[in-house]
Amino acid sequence: MGSALFDFIIPFIVVLGVLVFIHELGHHLAAKIFGMKVDAFSLGFPPRAWGFKWSTKRLRPKFMRDLTAAIRDNVAFRQLHERLVSKKYSVSEDESMRILTELFNVQVEESKVQVLNKKGKSEERIESKTNVVIADGGISKTFLQDELDTLYKTFTSDADLVDCFHRYREIQDDKIFKDKYQTDYCVSWIPLGGYCKINGMIDESFDVDSMKEGVAKPWEYRAKPIWQRIIAITGGVVFNFLLAVIIFAVIALSHGLPDMDKYDAYKMGTTIQTVGSGSPAEKAGLLAGDRITAINDTPVEEWRSLVEIIHNKPDEKIRVTFQRGETVLDVEIIPNRVKTQTAEGIKEIGQIGIGPSPLPEFTREASFVESMQFGFMNTYRVSALILVNLKQIILGEQSFKDSMGGPIAIVKMTGEVKQQQGWAGIWGFMALLSISLAVFNLFPIPALDGGHLMFLIIEGLIRRPLSIKFKLYAQQAGMAILLTFIAYVTFNDIMK
């Protein structure tokens, strides 16, 4: 039990935790940079298990800037400002905002009510009632009653303007800002990933209470330009790729890079080191220690030469000449036809089941620049290989059942890497999983980043937002597809 805990369970939790954290951190930082309000940062899916809430005052200037711009663009505010200027109460938009803030007190009362949901069951909801009160005394005394009435009617005629001024005063108040504009950093019960809940966005939590049809609040995801939303939604994928780049670069810095000059100069020879059980070579009588001298009477002195000949002869009889001690012998062998994965795709090659002596490890020290180049190139090559595999699965060249692995398979592979290579191997394995997670998240399926990206592209083309109801239904369908897929690959793991 102890070995399973330290070799399988703990390494898997570490790997999964780091990958999910890095992915959601990419969304979180991008959202914060563009002044989006982040409601929750969760490792795991709801329900919430444990966490803490924290707010930063660094977002306040961004919220104030965007909120001020929204107020100034409001039609009702423009009318109020023009009236204040015409009556010589104001000479600038800033002064008009100050006057209106001091003149009108927006009060929001919240109360709990019982309502019937779509299933006919009673549930508790919080309803808000907004009242606008004219300040008693102070600046209100400088206005005639008729002017006050006109300003009041214009101000209260626009619910969005009233709400903006209410939010404006909330953000200015330290205590209210800390209480209402904070992020919930938490751990949730369902350990299948995580999510970063950005205000004004339909995501894995299916929470629509923070957004309603109509004018979006300046800090909402849906209020931002499409290019900012694209960066926020792809931030997780970018961070997963960058994590892989950094891991590969650190490995190169600490262990060096392959010295290809020494590899090219090294003469491997043609002595057999291993013979596979039940292989054509074993059946023909080849043994470890035999040295192959010719194939089909063609002399061979290097392992790569004999491999090239054998690979090109699947299911064809070949004559193998070899030396055992002082004796020269020859046998006839038919190589098995085997499918193997290459950078160009799956190829069929011939194999007789022999292996050479292990290659010495020729490495050289790598500079920081070389290590970073290695990190980017390795990340690119692994990504390309994953895409090739996906293409082969779609075209039926590879078995979907045999190619896909779920949580149990990942636990098994993580444990095997830990046992064989220790924690040093775990980091390289984490880089491969990080790239796989990034590629998988780009699939155009609702509930994945690729699904959100697809919606953004559609909105950019049709030049209007998709309805909240459509996005909610699409998100629910996407989660159903995702959970079904997870259930299938988990069952497949068990059957294997």
The predicted-structure confidence for 370-385, as pLDDT tens digits, reads as follows 999 999 999 999 998 8
- DSSP H or E segment with residue 414: helix 407-441
Residue 119 has pLDDT above 70, yes or no: no
Contact 235, 34 (CB under 8 A): no
Distance CA 114, CA 123 (A): 6
What pLDDT does residue 1 have? 46
Strand, helix or coil for residue 329: strand
What are residue 112's phi and psi, to 5 degrees? Answer: -90, 130
CB atoms inside a 10 Å sphere around CB 327: 7
Distance CA 233, CA 445 (A): 13
Can you give the pLDDT at residue 364?
83
**CB distance 335 to 315 below 8 Å:** yes
In the prediction, which pLDDT does 344 show? Answer: 61
- 212 sits in the region (left: phi over 0; alpha: psi -120 to 50; else beta) called beta
- DSSP state letters, 466-483: PPHHHHHHHHHHHHHHHH
Strand-pair category, 345-351 with 122-134: unpaired
* 131/106 Cα distance (integer angstroms): 6
pTM recorded for the entire structure: 0.75
Q: Of 23-32, 115-124, 287-296, which range is least confident?
A: 115-124
Region 444-469: what's the mean pLDDT? 86
Q: Which residue has tokens 């020729």?
A: 362
Quick: pLDDT tens for 404-453: 777 777 778 877 787 777 777 888 889 999 999 999 889 888 878 888 89
User: Which pair of structure tokens corresponds to residue 362?
Assistant: 């020729």
HSE toward the beta carbon, residue 231, CA cutoff 13 A: 12
Average pLDDT, the chain: 83
CB count within 10 Å of CB 233 equals 25
Q: What's the rounded mean pLDDT across residues 127-137? A: 78
* Residues present in the chain in total: 496
Rounded Cα gap, residues 414 and 426, in angstroms: 7
Q: What is the pLDDT of residues 210-256, one digit of tens each?
A: 555 456 778 888 888 999 999 999 999 999 999 999 999 999 998 88
Q: Which two tokens mark 123?
A: 């549930």
On the question of pLDDT at 350 being above 50, the answer is yes
Going along the chain from its start, the domains and CATH numbers come out as: 1-32+219-258+366-496 (no CATH), 87-180 (no CATH), 267-355 (2.30.42.10)
d(CA 390, CA 406): 16
Two structure tokens written together for 231: 């960066």
Higher-confidence position of 248 and 148: 248
In Å, how far are 187, 282, 311, 342 from 304, measured between CA atoms? 53, 20, 10, 16
CA dist., res. 239 & res. 231, Å (int): 11
pLDDT at 343 over 60: no
- Positive/negative CA dihedral, 376, 382, 383, 388: positive
Surface-to-core class of residue 335, CB atoms within 10 Å of its CB (0-12 exposed, 13-18 middle, 19+ buried): buried
